[in-house]
Every structure is written in structure tokens, then in C-alpha cells.
Structure 1
Amino acid sequence: MLRHPPVRRLARPLTAATAFRVQNPRRTLFSSRNERRSGRAVENLNLQRLSRQSEDYYRNRRIFLWSGTVAGFISFIYTAWKLKVALSNPTKLDTNLPSSESLVAPGAADRKVVVHDEEGREIVPTGNSTVPTFPRTIDLPSYTSPITTTSPTSPDAPTTKQMLTSASGTTEYTLVGLGLRTVTFLGLQVYVVGYYVATSDIAALQSALTRKVNPIATTLVPSERGQLRAALLDPAEGERTWDELLAAGVPARSAFRVVPVRDTDFHHLRDGFVRAVQARAGAETVADDAFGESMRQFRAAFNRGSVPKRKELLLVRDETGQLSIAYDGGSSKKEGGSAPGRQLVGIVEDERVSRALWLNYLAGKKVASEPARKNIVEGIMEFVERPVGTVASQVVPVVNVQA
């Protein structure tokens, strides 16, 4: 006889609430999340992925900006360098001559170079194509005659009737050193300046500088010359040395020859000279009424027009410290024409003006032309290595002016 399996009975009847809980179990902390995802986009966001994408974006953005900054800076430097080279007009007039050249003895690269022009006159290359050479010696007359001024307030009016070529007697000046004055960070070339000392006064300069190092010597040995060179190149010691020498009238007669390498004007040159004099003279001197009157005389001498390139401006200091300013505008006519020649345009008797102007080139922390200052010192080293008074065979060093 077949038996039916026993029917299992529920202990409790299945209600509607129980059936809902069975179909929709309550989610707890340890229960697994339903793997089904909603179709809404907000529930599909991955915050870590978005954070990584944001970091990558800003990192790439920083790299791009820094790359542009570096590239722009390099381009600026390269453009400035190319502009400087283009404006400098570099030439081959330098000391890097091969040993086969007749100007340099074989195996003597440290020897100085003597160059002669077509007329046999000694000249010194400057390294600049616009003003390629400076004369080794110049003859200047005595600057003692008064200035006849017609109208100092008019820039177009003539300031003097005196011609320097008509002065009685001349004095030979020997070039000690020269260099190029540049301005701005681009190194724009303004003029070539050379320092000349009356040939007969070089012995006094030799003696004074030699005694500064060795009071009983007539010439300096290499170690003593090195000591003197370091003193002259030192900003404080060099300014103190030159200030004492100039105040004592050593050298008695000297001159600075300024030749522009580009067109300029007297007002531009005047402003630079005035700033230099006021900076070197000191506050007490500048405040002095007599010094102020001397500076007005100095400005009046530059109350003129333009100064074309290659024209000569002379600043001459005599044994009393008097400053004479002369200008040679040249002539467009050929030889035989009425060339004006060197013309005296102003005189300043106050010794403090010329001394401050001289210090602007010779010594101090900041000079008008560092190449000129260094070359002047090297020229002085050529003097002191010879016995006092024996500079007839002195050879002025060739200057290699950097572009």
C-alpha cells in the first residue's frame, strides 16, 4: 500500500508582510550590495579617476607654462645678443694675429704691437670699425687764452673766435691707454676714449707711482708691478691714489680724447659728464657756490649742436688743474679748403671739476669705461718697468675692445 510523503506545515501562516520581506530582504552592514547598477549617470562617477585626471591636467598645464617661459627667456637673450653683435660691427683689428704676421715676432705673443699708417705715423688699433685707430702721440697747443663768448645761451651761436691752431707752441702728448664706452645691458657702443699724458710729464708720473710702492727704487720689479697694478685696480685704493696725484698736479698736463662711434650731440655728452662730476665731487663740494658757478661754465661749453661720429672732442687738464674743452668738427672739403680744425669751446678754471672728471675714467667702483681703465693701468705698468725718464721707446699696448 503506497504512502504519501508527509506534508510539511508552516508554523506560521505566510502573510503579505512576510512575503514582502522574503522578496525584498533588508540590507545590513555585512550583506552584499546588489550588483545591479542604476541607469542614472550620477551613480557611475569614479571620484579617484576624476581626481587623477584633474592632477594630470594641472601638471601638464604647469609643464606647458614653464616651457613657454623658459623658451621666451632664451629667445630674449638670443635676440639681445644678436642685436649687440649687429650694432658692435666687430672687426679683425685685434691682438689675435698669427705668429707669421710681420707685426708680431715669432714666439712673442705677449709683445706689444706697433702699427704705422701710410704716412709712417704710429697708430694704435682700437678694435672698432667706425673709429679703427688712435694716434700714439698728438700735439696740442697751450690752453691759456680767454674765451670770447658771443651768446652762451643760444645753442646755434658760435661760442668762441679762437682757433687752437693759431696758439703759439705745442706740446706732445703720449697715449697711455684707451677703451670703448658702452651703455645699457646690451653694451651699446658710444665712443672711444683715450688717455694722453704730456710726454715730458711722464717721468714725474713714473716717479710718483714708483715711490708709492718702493720709496728708494727707480724702477719696479715684476712683484712690485703686480702690487701697483692691484692697488690701481682696487676701487677704493685706486681712487685714493689718483685723487692724491691729481691734487698734487701729477701728471701736470694730460688729456682725454673722445671720438664718438655713432652720431650724438653735445647735450647728450654734457649730461653724462655732469652726472659723473657731481657723483665724484661729493655732496659738500657740489653744494659750494663757487663749484656751482664752475659747473654752469662747464654746461655752457656744451651748449652746441650735434657731434657726428668720428669727430674729436678733447678734454685737456693743465698744470693748474684748469679744464679746456676743444672740438674738431673737421671739414667736408679736401685739403686746401678752409677746415676749422680744433676749436676751443670752453674753459673751466676750478680744479675740482677736472679732477672729478678724470676720476670718472681712472678709478673707482664704477668708471665710464672699464676697458679703458684697465688698459690705462697696463700702459702705466709699461712706464714703471723702465727707469724714470726713459720712455722714449715706450710702446703703447694694442687694445682689444670686446664687442
Structure 2
Amino acid sequence: MLAAIHARTAAWLAVSCRGSSAVSRALHTDAAIYSSRPRQARRLFWYSALAIAATTALGSTIRLDAPSPEGSGQGTELDPATSIAFPKTLRIPSKTPLPEFSLVGLGVRTVSFLGIKVYSVGFYADLANSSLNIPKTASPDEKIEYIIRNTACVLRIIPTRSTSYSHLRDGFIRALQTRLMLSKQRQSLSAEEELAIQSPLRKFKSMFPSTPLAKHAPLDVLLTAPSSQPRSLIVRDLGSVQSDWLATEFVLAYFEGDGLSPPLKKTVVEKLESFGS
């Protein structure tokens, strides 16, 4: 009876570890030793079996304890138009430490007269920056521009359907070209500055591959904080471009007038109405 119980237990351990052929072979070998050798060999078999079982359990624990998604545990906000969730706080992995970004507002981007929903977008900023002194008496538009020009920001873009990087790129380039025309009309850009922008524009355009971007896969676009170097616009996992004008104007484009996403502009305005020092 005891021998039968031992044999069934050894078989159960072998099935539990079938993901590793080496482990399975080891158990069968030990089972053979168990049946043919004295008590010392039997004791060694049970120690080995228990060690393998413990290792298997530990491996499962490690997988379950893998790093959690960015912002998890901090709460989320849903875009009411798409039901896409955005974390209220955002941490982006980077070799260079980045601040924790706070969600300022979110909304859907639509195109054409049919109102096709292209993506949801969340606007994040380093609102905890101690040097960020937003004037409380400023208008919401002035507060938005002040934040963009004076601290690090992130636009998190989440497609509502499968799309491609090249499709998003074309929309980004159109927005930058519109900003370029506005700058020229407002006479805020010299001919020399306009010429200097062309190279960063070409580099930015070349960063996007002609590959699909899956539905609900986030694309983060980071505007670095002002420093002694030109500001960078970093498209996560794709590359970066250095240009004060391009980096800043890319983000400002989302808030010109009603904005590229009016719902985004509306929620950001509402958040900033009472915000400031």
C-alpha cells in the first residue's frame, strides 16, 4: 500500500512539472532509484521531489509578482466617448529619471464630418515641479501655454481601432505645418528660424515606421523640461528630435482654439480654472 502511494505521488509530481522535460526525466529516474535502493536512497528521492515542487511554486510566484503597469493602484479616469482608461499618474521608464506626471485632462480625437473616433488622448504634466508657478489670475489658455513652455509634459495617445504609425505620423505632420503657418502669420518666426526647423521636421517624419499600431496600444509623446539644451520631443520606443520650436509647438497644437480634440481642451480648461499660485 505504501509503495503504491509513493508511486502515485511521484507520478503526480512528474505531471506537475511536465513543462520541463529535464525535470520530468529526473523524477522518473529518481522513482526508479526509489524502487531498487534502500531507505537512504528513498529519503534522497523525497528531498529531491520536494525541492522540485518548491522551485516550481516559487517560479509561479515570481511571474505573478512581475512589475505592475504604469500608474496602476493610483486610480484611472475613463474617456466617456471611448471608455479607454488613463492612469491618474504616469511614470515612464527611462535611463534618465523622469518625474511623475499628473493627468490634467483627456478626450477623443475625431476626424471627418462623420466624427470617426481615431484615438483618445491624455495630457499629463509635471505639476509637482517646485519651479512651476502658474499665475492664478491667468486665463485657462494662458495657464496651458505656461505649463507647456515651463515643464515636462506627456501626450498619451491610445488608438480606438487598429491603425498604423504612418497614419498617425501624417496627422502629426499636418498639425506641425499648420503651426508653422500660424507662426509666420503672427511674425513670431524669422526666415532663419524657419529654415532651421526643416531638418528636425524631416527627422521627426522619418522616425515613424510603416507598421501597424494595435488597438488600445498606448503611444507616449514626451516633451522634455526646459534646460540649457534645446528641448526634445521623444516618441516612446521610436526616437527623439531636438528643437525648441518643434517640441513645444507639437504639444501646443492640441490646444490652439478648440484644439485637435475639443473634449481634451475642455477637460484641461476645467481642471486649470482654479489651479495656480
Q: Same fold (TM over 0.5)?
A: yes
* Aligned amino acid, residue 346 of structure 1: G
Contact 1:243 1:355 in 2 (8 A): no
Distance (whole Å) between structure 2 residues aligned to residue 379 and residue 270 of structure 1: 29
**1:243, CA displacement in angstroms?**
5.1
* Aligned amino acid, residue 374 of structure 1: K
Distance (whole Å) between structure 1 residues aligned to residue 247 and residue 96 of structure 2: 24
* Aligned amino acid, residue 194 of structure 1: G
Q: TM-score, normalised by structure 2?
A: 0.63
Alignment length, in residue pairs?
195
1:351 corresponds in structure 2 to 244
* Aligned amino acid, residue 203 of structure 2: Q
Task: Tell me if 1:296 matches 2:195.
Answer: no
**1:244, CA displacement in angstroms?**
6.3
2:100 corresponds in structure 1 to 172
Task: Tell me if 1:259 matches 2:158.
Answer: yes
Task: Tell me if 1:313 matches 2:206.
Answer: no
2:232 corresponds in structure 1 to 322
2:180 corresponds in structure 1 to 281
Matches within 5 A, 1:92-131: 120-129=73-82, 131=83
Cα deviation code 1:117-144 (max 9, x no counterpart): xx64311121245x53110001124xxx
2:29 corresponds in structure 1 to none
Contact 1:139 1:172 in 2 (8 A): yes
Identical pairs, percent: 29
Could you tell me which runs of 5 or more consecutive residues in structure 2 were left unpaired when the two chains were aligned.
Answer: 1-71
Contact 1:300 1:346 in 2 (8 A): no
Contact 1:191 1:259 in 2 (8 A): yes
Distance (whole Å) between structure 1 residues aligned to residue 170 and residue 135 of structure 2: 33
Distance (whole Å) between structure 2 residues aligned to residue 204 and residue 370 of structure 1: 29
In structure 2, relative to structure 1, the CA distance for the partners of 1:242 and 1:278 (3 Å cut) is farther
Q: After TM superposition, which residue ranges in structure 1, 4 or more long, deviate above 6 angstroms?
A: none
Distance (whole Å) between structure 2 residues aligned to residue 178 and residue 260 of structure 1: 13
Distance (whole Å) between structure 2 residues aligned to residue 294 and residue 358 of structure 1: 15
Distance (whole Å) between structure 2 residues aligned to residue 209 and residue 275 of structure 1: 32
Task: Tell me if 1:184 matches 2:136.
Answer: no
Structure (1/2) with the larger helix percentage: 2
In structure 2, relative to structure 1, the CA distance for the partners of 1:204 and 1:373 (3 Å cut) is farther
Which has more radius of gyration? 1
**1:245, CA displacement in angstroms?**
5.9
Task: Tell me if 1:197 matches 2:125.
Answer: yes
In structure 2, relative to structure 1, the CA distance for the partners of 1:381 and 1:323 (3 Å cut) is same
Contact 1:173 1:254 in 2 (8 A): yes
1:137 corresponds in structure 2 to 89
2:225 partner SS = coil
Q: TM-score, normalised by structure 1?
A: 0.45
Distance (whole Å) between structure 2 residues aligned to residue 274 and residue 253 of structure 1: 21
